[in-house]
Amino acid sequence: MTTIHDLQTPALLVEQSALARNLATMSSALPGSRLRPHVKAHKCTALARLQAEAGHRTFTCATIREVEGMAAAGLGDDLLLANEVLDMSRLGRVVEAGARVTAAVDSAETIRAASAGGVREVIIDVNVGLPRCGCAPDDAGRLADDARARGLEVRGVMGYEGHLMLVADVDERRKQTEECMTKLVAAGGAVGGDIVSAGGTGTYAVNTWANEIQAGSYALMDTAYGAVADLPFEQALFVLGTVISRTPPAEGIPGWAVVDIGLKSLGMDHGNPTVPDGVVWFCSDEHVTWQPDDFDAVQLGDRLRVLPAHVDPTIALHERMWLVDGDDVVEELPVDLRGW
């Protein structure tokens, strides 16, 4: 049997038991269509298939490539592209091939793009407080009328309270989520349709206003979400590295070691990764330099599991993940939705 000691490092590992527990926890909390898993978090149709087997057949995508790949994998029952696109011709071809694709729109231009590209269903994207995409709440009804006038079906509204995902205090997170969702629900009343789509891993339990939640990171997790104490999900994703250098303590300077993981294999926008039983000093292109708690316990050639701070961009840097049971490799999971 292949083990992690046979893998070329750096390599992405997914602990099978932790993944299974995360999927089960979420499917119990948000069964069926209450969850619309966001595949941008893992960019992997094999993992999306596991989510479908857990009862979730509707999915959120961030890129056209993700929509195309999910449909090609037979997971195109109901795909939401939760991102504005000004050329939807590729999406139209996916629709013509038999998948159901809904596109987020927040302007007259994106509505025209949907109509011209062959997309038949849209959702009005509303700005609920995150300064990114989305129309003003008061403008949502007018845009819905514009879309229907062009022959498009308007399924409802979506809004992303992404700025609240890592708010540490759960009561404050709930309060601010309510403020955001009050805007979205009001916009939904003007828009019509059945869907109020919002949320993420950080607000999945406190957002009781949306009727579908777009969580993604819950399946694999990272240290940024792991620091949010009330989330019941566990770290399932690790970057496996090899210890390639060690410098012993000398003249009052602590010893340090280096693992062959670096900026080119880690998403760093949420900060440094975490090394168990040690303190990370810094990361460079191909290296993480850290101070072990017990220097003598670290030897050249050791395999080390490093915890990334942000799951989504970390996975996008890799071509594959390895599903593991302890040190045993169970299955290769291609990251087949990466790229554009």
pLDDT at 184 over 90: yes
pLDDT at 340 over 90: no
Distant-in-sequence, close-in-space partners of 8: CB < 8 Å, separation ≥ 6: none
pLDDT at 163 over 90: yes
pLDDT at 251 over 90: no
pLDDT at 105 over 90: yes
Q: Which domains does the chain have, with CATH numbers?
A: 4-10+234-334 (2.40.37.20), 17-221 (3.20.20.10)
DSSP code per residue over 36-76:
--BGGGT--HHHHHHHHHTT--EEEESSHHHHHHHHHTT--
pLDDT digits (tens, 9 = 90+) for 3-12: 999 999 999 9
Tokens of 283: 């990361």
* Mean per-residue pLDDT over the chain, rounded: 97
Which amino acid does the sequence have at 331?
E
- Establish whether the linkage from the previous residue to 10 is cis, with ω within 30° of 0: yes
**By three-state DSSP, how is residue 176 classified?**
helix
Between strands 195-198 and 212-213, the pairing is parallel
The sign one gets for the Cα dihedral 262, 259, 337, 27 is negative
Q: What pLDDT was estimated at residue 69? A: 98
DSSP code per residue over 183-200:
HHHHHHHHH-SSEEEE--
Q: What pLDDT was estimated at residue 108? A: 98
**Predicted TM-score (pTM) of this structure:** 0.96
User: Side by side, which strands form the sheet with 153-159?
Assistant: 58-61, 78-81, 101-105, 121-125, 153-159, 195-198, 212-213
pLDDT digits (tens, 9 = 90+) for 61-100: 999 999 999 999 999 999 999 999 999 999 999 999 999 9
What mean pLDDT do residues 36-60 have?
98
pLDDT grade for 40, boundaries at 50, 70 and 90: very high
Residue whose entry in the numeric block shows the structure tokens 């879309």: 147
